[in-house]
Chain A
Amino acid sequence: MRKKFVFVIMIVLAAIVLSGCTGAVAWPGLGADEQTAYLANGQFVYALNSSDGKERWHYPLQADSKLTFYSPPVVTPEGLVIIGSSGINHSLIAVNPQKFPDILPAPVGGFQRFFCSIGLAICPKPVEVEEWIFTEAKDHWVAGPLALDGKLFAPNADGNLYVLDLNDGRLIKKIALDGESNRPNRLWAQPITDGERIFVTSLDHSVYAIDIETHEIIWHEGLGGAIPGGAVLASDGMLYAGSLSKQLERFDPATGAHEPVLDTKGWIWGTPVSEGDNLYFSDVDGYFYSYNTKNQKLDWEPVKPDSAITASPLAQSDNVLLATESGNVYSVDPDGKVALWYDEPSDGKAYTTPVSSDGHILIAYLEADYFLLALNEDGHQAWTFPSQQ
């Protein structure tokens, strides 16, 4: 009888453990302002000093199983940090960094929380650091929102672009971007604007242009594949977007008229980066491209550092930095010469677009000993978070 009981317990536990082993579903989200890095990594969003990696605060103060964070945090001109949850709770949260206490309260355990809720224990008063919370979205937040003129344009994986009042999180308009196909219209990339229109890319293979004032869809055009990355406005005034159909496409922002301008070797994932007359972008086969929008040609043959590239390149004054799936960071000079800039010693994978803040290049890792790595301008490690010392 006892053996049977142990067997039952083992089976049920194995089922529970196995069924919970869903693993990571996305890579960390990374954002930064001049002095602070914001890392969305699983249960928490961390705000860190870009200079030394010291933690300023994390949200939520206590882990909540309903919240998971992967979308890049966005800092608004008002100083709010907007973070979206990819957990069971699909909330978009405006965190006010000013509301965090200097000394964070000690975490309250599960049992203690239960006893607190029924009045049998005394617990510290919860600290409310949120300015507002928006809970009407139906799916995950993968992309960061666009903050513009007191409004927030927030794309959700449920296929809607939510226009919110930045002051109070009130829904101004829900714009359904459902195209004409029956494909899932997940929105995974941050929108961009030319001052008149908002441009949104979708996994339903479409690019949408939305009037910034009326919030009406002006045009939407289909491509041959899903568009997980965003679009970019180049110096020639045209809109460019790459897709899984292995093509870079050029759009007239006013009309949506478009044509393919370049065939690539693999699926284009990350958002292209515009620098001068050049567009820098990569594909998941690991190739890096430099496309000149003026003469409409590649500056040089695509180069392949090592493995897949999903991150957007980071353009610096004299080179372009690339973070690859292998975790390494490469620099590419204006002549297309590739050099290993940082050799990742652990097995971490770099899928997230690197950012620059306070003189450091920040690289977020998946499956590494640390979540975030800061490199000096010469490619040497400055600090890691959590610290490895």
Chain B
Amino acid sequence: MKNTTNKTQTQVQQPELPQGLSRESLKTVAVIGILVLAFLRWNDVIAILVNVMILIYSLVGQNFGIALILFTILIRLVTWPLNAQQMKGAAAMQQLQNDKEWLAIQKKYAKDREKLAQEQMRIYREKGINPFGSCLPTLIQFPILFALIPSITYAIGSTPLSILKLSRSVYPFLDVAKLVPLNSKFLWMDLGLPERTLLFGLWSIPVLAVIVGLTTYIQTKLTMPPSTNPNDQAAATGKMMGIYMPIMLFFFSLNYASGLAVYFIISNILSIVQYSLMGKVNWRNLLPGGQKK
């Protein structure tokens, strides 16, 4: 009886949506809207990131390395709900792959793609699953990731054009003239340049790019939900991403400012922490053949 009352109350609180428009499709439209807005106001997105970075830099003793780490933590905190939603969406999709009804329609309509799509949409609706639920939060984070590249470059200002662009990005309340150029030395790196470490005085090794590749690989492996269904497409895509994402980010880190590589590493570590806190880390995936168990 109590449950029924709560349910009724919840139903009363939610505003009615126009016919044919679900809450999930509204979310999709909202995400697309945000992406379009970010694209149209690209310089503003960069400016926000630059100003936040410089503000943190001015507060933490003018060390850009520490500022960048704190900035990454801030970004992860801001995008925490999005990541959590992504995890839930991925888990729901994973469960669906083992659902009897789902498997049955795959078999039944294997040769009728149109009917299969209709049936799939029906099941999504019935179970309240958004098929884009796991990728929409990721899409929202793309503008942040791509805006980070120029933001770090402008903030460090190691070239004439980057300092000039910085002058157009900073808000008046930050007295940037006193701070520019930012101190980009951190540990053994210059965060404004791609990192290379001379090994035994002979080989120039991109240590940071290798760490980025490794941590991305570990992060994707650990956060991949277990799957027993050999036809699970989501799991197959996840596996592929587990290979290609580390390669892609390795190449990014190889050529861009090492500050970006620091962002990737910290972000990967924080992602593992978030998954751990939500009890979603699958440590077995790191072991050879671990996924089969």
Residues of A within 8 A of B (CB): 4, 7-8, 11-12, 14-16, 18-20, 22, 24-27, 140, 142, 157, 182-184, 186, 188, 203, 224-226, 228, 243-246, 266-267, 269, 284, 308, 310, 351
Contact = CB atoms under 8 A, between A and B. Distances in A.
Interface residues of B, number: 28
A1 to B, nearest CB: 12
Contacts, number: 89
Nearest to A10: B244
Contacts of B240: 4, 7
B256 interface: yes
Given A19-B255, A267-B177, A284 B164 contact: yes
B256 A226 contact: no
Contact of B251 (A8, A15, A182, A203): A15
B180 A15 contact: no
A351 B255 CA distance: 26
Contact of B160 (A12, A19, A228): A228
A8 B244 contact: yes
Contact of A183 (B158, B159, B181, B251): B181
A225 B181 contact: no
Given A203-B181, A246-B177, A269-B164, 10 more contacts: A15-B252, A19-B251, A26-B159, A26-B160, A184-B184, A186-B158, A224-B177, A226-B181, A244-B180, A284-B167
A15 B249 CA distance: 8
A15 B244 CA distance: 10
Contact of A26 (B62, B161, B247): B161
B220 to A, nearest CB: 14
Interface string B251-279: 11011100000000000000000000000
B227 interface: no
Contact of A11 (B163, B185, B244, B252): B244
B201 to A, nearest CB: 15
Among B180, B240, B248, chain A packs the most CB atoms within 10 A around the CB of B180
A27 B165 CA distance: 13
A184 B183 contact: yes
Contact of B248 (A15, A157, A224, A243): A15
A7 B239 CA distance: 13
B178 A224 contact: yes
A310 B254 CA distance: 32
A24 B161 contact: yes
A225 B176 CA distance: 9
Contacts of A267: 167, 177
B162 interface: yes
Contact of B164 (A142, A203, A308): A308
Contacts of A188: 160
Contacts of A15: 247-248, 250-252
A226 B163 CA distance: 10
A206 to B, nearest CB: 13
A186 B183 contact: no
A284 B168 CA distance: 9
A11 B242 CA distance: 13
Contacts of A8: 243-244
Contact of A142 (B160, B162, B250): B160
Interface string B215-253: 000000000000000000000000010011001101110
B180 to A, nearest CB: 5
Nearest to B192: A184
Interface string B149-164: 0000000001111111
The 8 closest A-B pairs by CB, nearest first: A25-B159, A15-B248, A225-B177, A15-B251, A19-B255, A244-B177, A19-B251, A11-B244
6 contacts: A16-B251, A25-B161, A26-B160, A183-B183, A225-B178, A284-B164
Contacts of A186: 158, 181
Contacts of A20: 255
A367 B197 CA distance: 34
Contacts of A7: 240, 244
A245 B177 contact: yes
Contacts of A19: 251-252, 254-256
B178 to A, nearest CB: 7
Given A25-B161, A184-B184, A11 B178 contact: no
Nearest to A225: B177
Among A188, A244, A266, chain B packs the most CB atoms within 10 A around the CB of A244
A267 B185 CA distance: 25
A245 B160 CA distance: 16
Given A244-B180, A267-B167, A14 B160 contact: no
Contacts of B252: 15, 18-19
A8 to B, nearest CB: 7
A11 B247 contact: yes
B190 to A, nearest CB: 8
A230 B159 CA distance: 16
B256 to A, nearest CB: 6
Contacts of B158: 157, 184, 186
A272 to B, nearest CB: 17
Contacts of B62: 182
A14 B251 CA distance: 10
A16 B244 CA distance: 12
A366 to B, nearest CB: 8
Contacts of A351: 160-161, 164
A233 to B, nearest CB: 24
A142 B164 CA distance: 15
A183 B247 CA distance: 34
Given A19-B256, A182-B183, A11 B248 contact: yes
Interface in B38-82: 62
Nearest to B162: A25
Among A22, A27, A246, A351, chain B packs the most CB atoms within 10 A around the CB of A22
Contacts of A243: 177
